[in-house]
Amino acid sequence: MRKSCAPMLALMLAVPGAGRAETLGVDQVVALSQAGLGDEAVIAKIRASGSRFDLSADQMMALKKRGVSGPVIAAMLSSAPAAAAPGATATSMDSPDPAVAHPTGVYMLQAAPAPHMVRMNATVSNQSKTGGIIGYALTGGIASASVKASIQNETSRVHAATGQPDFYFFFDEANADGRLTSTWTQGDGATIQSPSEFTLVRLTKKDGRREARVGSFNIGGAKAGVMDKDRLGYDYQLVRPGVYKVTVVKPLPPGEYGFIYALRAGAGATGAAGARVFDFTVDGA
């Protein structure tokens, strides 16, 4: 009888919400990191478990040597949840309710299997390319050459089942109490406060990558940023301080798309190589 109960007990411990929450130890964090699950999954597990770690400098260095990344170690150090103010909302990574606190970033609202939000991690352009350079040379610079930002893989990890998905942008103002860390504090992202600072574009599939035109030049001069004819319309509305709902104006046909940070004037090819794209795929019917 005891033997037959063991598998059921193991299943209850493995399924979220079944039985008591699992408390993680240092060795378990190391094991999860070495399993290649990725920082986000390990950090989410640390936060969900409610485990607390009081690490010394030597322990931090030992964890690094054992393959635990800096972000995971930082999550362990800040794992003790701050006391929430009376009436404060819970925090979540996937709640469909924009009133619930989410880590800052861009999310897509999905309907199946139940309404939930999916966080869209930015894909950084790993190279910039020029196109139409032969025409540019043959015409003495009269014909325009284009500058393209290129991101890896031919498809995104985030898929939309409909051509008019809803998005939610969470900025720092939404988490003014400091309970959640910021996505926007690095480089140019430190000043981002509104969806108006992004451009929605369709990405062109190439061999093993996707591209977006983010500049052009000819004998008359150079332009930096997404061309007007390449921009796709979207609208946004303020849901609460720091949180915006974003909707596309027209249904998007199946293909690859992305929200690109507004490129600085004069960034040229250098800016294209460092572009950050919140990419997604619209699936066919």
Residue 191's pLDDT is: 60
Q: Which residue has the higher pLDDT, 193 or 221?
A: 193
Structure tokens at 15: 């399924």
What mean pLDDT is predicted for residues 35-64?
83
Q: Which of 83-87, 173-177, 180-184, 247-251 has the highest mean pLDDT?
A: 247-251
Distances (CA, A) of 215 to 54, 81, 143, 220, 239: 49, 45, 14, 14, 33
Residue 185's pLDDT is: 47
Closest CA to 195 of 238, 145, 140: 238
Q: What backbone torsions phi and psi does residue 17 show, to the nearest 5 degrees?
A: 90, -10
For 153-267, list the strands marked E by DSSP: 159-160, 166-170, 198-206, 209-218, 221-224, 231-232, 234-240, 243-248, 255-261
Residue 124's pLDDT is: 75
| Cα separation, 145 vs 133, whole angstroms | 5
Which helix (H) or strand (E) segment is 120 a member of?
Answer: strand 116-120
pLDDT tens digits for 98-134? 988 888 889 999 988 889 999 998 887 766 555 555 5
Query: Could you tell me the pLDDT band of residue 235, with boundaries at 50, 70 and 90?
Result: very high
What mean pLDDT is predicted for residues 230-253?
93
Domain range list for the chain? 2-77, 105-282
Residue 152's pLDDT is: 83
User: Is 70's pLDDT higher than 50?
Assistant: yes
User: Is 281's pLDDT higher than 90?
Assistant: yes
User: Is 159's pLDDT higher than 80?
Assistant: yes
| Cα separation, 61 vs 207, whole angstroms | 41
User: Is 215's pLDDT higher than 60?
Assistant: no
Is the Cβ–Cβ distance between 105 and 174 less than 8 Å?
Answer: no
Mean pLDDT, the chain, rounded, equals 74
Query: Could you tell me the pLDDT band of residue 277, with boundaries at 50, 70 and 90?
Result: confident
The string over 38-62, giving b where at least 16 C-beta atoms fall within 10 Å of a residue's C-beta and e elsewhere, is eeeebbbbbbebebebeeeeeebee
Three-state SS for 76? helix
Q: Which residue has the higher pLDDT, 183 or 202?
A: 202
| Cα separation, 169 vs 98, whole angstroms | 9
- Per the listing, tokens 């979207």 go with 234
